[in-house]
Structure 1
Amino acid sequence: MKGLHSTFGRVLKCASLCGLFIFSQPSFAAGNHPAAAAQPAILQNYLVQERKAAGLSSKTVQIGNITWSYNEGGSRANPSILLIHGLAGNRDNWSRVAHYLTPYYHVIIPDLPTNGDTKVPENFDISIPNVTEQLRQFVEKIDIEDRLNVAGHSLGGSIATVYAAQYPFDTQSLFLLNSAGIYKHALTPYTQNPSSLKQLIVSKPGDFDGVMHQLMQNPPAVPFKLKQAQEQQLIAQAEQTQKMIDQVVTLNRIYTPDSFARLTKSVEAPTLILWGRQDKIINVEAANELKTLLKRAEAPVILNNVGHVPIIEAEQAVADHYLPFLAKSQKFKNPLMDKLIPLN
């Protein structure tokens, strides 16, 4: 059984990785799911097992024309954490980190609109400002907005930053992991040429291994048949993935390093920054640039021999740094509260 669990673990890392930055089962309007994109049962079953092991359960909630799917775990009596996945990722990307969080915190992990099992209209606006606004409505609906701890990976880091800037009174802390942004000084390929993300699309047989090595420093070994099934699934989703990347390219034409800097400088929440030193998507130098922009950021944590996906490659190290930061930040008072003048 130990050997079988080890094999499943490698499979899960592969499956989670493929949803973490560029790939995932895309969300469509009801009734429009292509059969070719259906997740293989062996992976689907194991992801359910991983949720259970992490103390998470799957839930849904309807808000307007969006049907949100999300994982929830931990006691509501504890402080709440909102974990936000990356571009075209899904909620299960965070399961291994959540395993360390749910004993102490109330954890919420949604599938963002157009991702995973969350269903949206076909004409849904996937821009970061709109997704952040919809995320706020979700947070209010499930009643966790007060003193919320927000964490985001990759593009989820940008969403988390916008959230913290727009809702400063309610954001207790911010955690950014290999966070996407429009950086001025960091010589990252993504910032210099957003179209380079297209290199991470699995569009034909044989692409899978190359993409894995771009995203991870040490990709896990995966049994051939399972890897083949995963590659076929990603090929079937290539067109939808292309559309998502086109939206990211458009956003990078609209926003500038200066506008990104102004937004980031407005964040009041204490912030922890974490990066994989071998990130080939967003260079590690971006961590120090973020540090200079944020008002209350600690010195960045840099993990050696880790690529773009520390929440999969080094989940225990992520938790080991995040838990002490969380414990400390719960004691902080929001500085904005001291500036309020009583209405009477």
Structure 2
Amino acid sequence: MLRHRPVRIFAIVTTTLLLLAAVLLWRNPYALITGDFTRQRLAAGLSKASMQLGDDRWVYAYNDDAPAGAPTVVMLHGFTGSKENWFPVARLLRGRFRVIVPDLPGWGESNRIDGADYGFLAQSARVARFLDAVSSKQEVVLLGHSMGGGIAALVAARHPERVARVGLIDAAGVRFRDNRFGIDVLAGKNPFAVHDEASLERYLDTVFFDDAAKPAIPWPADRIYIARRREDAAFEQRVLDRIGRGDERFAPGENAARIRQPALLLWCRQDAVIDASALALYAQRIPQARQVLLDGCGHMSILEKPDAVAQAVIELIERGRQR
């Protein structure tokens, strides 16, 4: 009988853990997805922290394992995105630079205030305060993807003392060549809206060109994700109304002419969201920028071609620095 006791204890512990997991998922189904985000963060070698700045609670991933005096690379995600989008690039940069990857206020794990402004201008002011708080002494390299690229352009232009170098990746904020996404936005639609399985598939097909890079969202995670996006639909529409159709939709491009810092402009040729013609429009305003046009990827270059993006960022940082 004694020989069976370890097996019995193991069965009891296993059953208890499964019941606890079931209760947790019943109370908070989204924990299934955040649990996978935690796995991704740990795999990228990142820790997590939070910070309160005024009314905004920022949640961010970071890694401080870098040589003394190394620049701080801050990465801003795009519309409907989150800090996790940048993890493959962050993994390739950590150890060489200090890396900080926040959820922008209103998105991800950072807080959202009812009625607050989450457009380009308001977010750029928030990001400037965040940079002061997390990297007041180190040189800051600010990277932004999509909506985050528009925000990064504004911060670099309006707060040059806070940003030493800037990288705009598939960035919003200029009047690029018409495509289906842009036409839908101007018509008042949200092309990124997700409310069922078909719209989730359409969303992924829009932002990714490389099928191999598309994230697998198996059942029941797909249902949980769809439910969260349904809850966020009104918020997404308000933000898109401001950054896609409002008076400030071209503010990033208009302010970009004030950017004097070393800069990177990186696009994917097959971007079906922010057409690659945007690269040339930004380049007219930032003539000192290095231009990189990747092939075989869509809007999510940071997930489809993380090695190429990381290499371009390294070259941006190392170019012209004293050794």
TM-score (norm 1): 0.77
- Read off the aligned partner of 1:243 and give its amino acid letter: F
State the Cα distance separating 1:192 from its structure 2 match.
Answer: 4.6
Q: How does 1:239-318 map to 2 (within 5 A)?
A: 239-251=231-243, 252-255=245-248, 257=250, 260-298=252-290, 300-318=291-309
Percentage of matched positions with identical amino acids: 22
State the Cα distance separating 1:327 from its structure 2 match.
Answer: 1.1
Q: How does 1:4-43 map to 2 (within 5 A)?
A: 38-41=29-32, 43=33
- For 1:254 and 1:188, the matched residues in 2 are separated by 20
- For 2:299 and 2:89, the matched residues in 1 are separated by 15
Change (3 A) 1:314 1:37: farther
Unmatched 5+ residue regions in structure 1?
A: 1-34, 333-344
User: 3-state DSSP class of the match of 2:197?
Assistant: coil
- For 1:121 and 1:217, the matched residues in 2 are separated by 34
Greater CA drift, 185-194 or 46-55: 185-194
Contact 2:105 2:112 in 1 (8 A): yes
State the Cα distance separating 1:253 from its structure 2 match.
Answer: 2.8
- Read off the aligned partner of 1:313 and give its amino acid letter: E
Contact 1:145 1:170 in 2 (8 A): no
Contact 1:165 1:264 in 2 (8 A): yes
- Read off the aligned partner of 1:54 and give its amino acid letter: A
User: 3-state DSSP class of the match of 1:82?
Assistant: strand
Q: In terms of Rg, which structure is larger?
A: 2
Contact 1:178 1:308 in 2 (8 A): yes
Contact 1:74 1:104 in 2 (8 A): no
**The one of 213, 222, 229 aligned to 1:230:** 222
Cα displacement string for residues 171-213 of structure 1 (whole angstroms, at most 9, x for unaligned residues)? 1111111101132x53344545524662321112322222211
Which residue number corresponds to residue 116 of structure 2? Answer: 124
Change (3 A) 1:175 1:222: closer
State the Cα distance separating 1:325 from its structure 2 match.
Answer: 2.0
- For 1:232 and 1:110, the matched residues in 2 are separated by 23
Change (3 A) 1:94 1:131: same
- Read off the aligned partner of 1:213 and give its amino acid letter: D
Unmatched 5+ residue regions in structure 2?
A: 1-25
Cα displacement string for residues 93-132 of structure 1 (whole angstroms, at most 9, x for unaligned residues)? 1111001111100011111011111114323221221111
Which residue number corresponds to residue 15 of structure 1? Answer: none
- For 2:186 and 2:254, the matched residues in 1 are separated by 24
Contact 1:91 1:111 in 2 (8 A): yes
**The one of 51, 72, 75 aligned to 1:61:** 51
Cα displacement string for residues 32-87 of structure 1 (whole angstroms, at most 9, x for unaligned residues)? xxx8984252x433322322232210001112222211011133632111100001
State the Cα distance separating 1:270 from its structure 2 match.
Answer: 1.1
Which residue number corresponds to residue 99 of structure 1? Answer: 91
**The one of 22, 28, 42 aligned to 1:52:** 42
Q: Please report the RMSD computed on the Cα atoms of aligned residues, expressed in angstroms.
A: 2.5
Which residue number corresponds to residue 326 of structure 1? Answer: 317
Change (3 A) 1:38 1:46: same
- Read off the aligned partner of 2:82 and give its amino acid letter: N
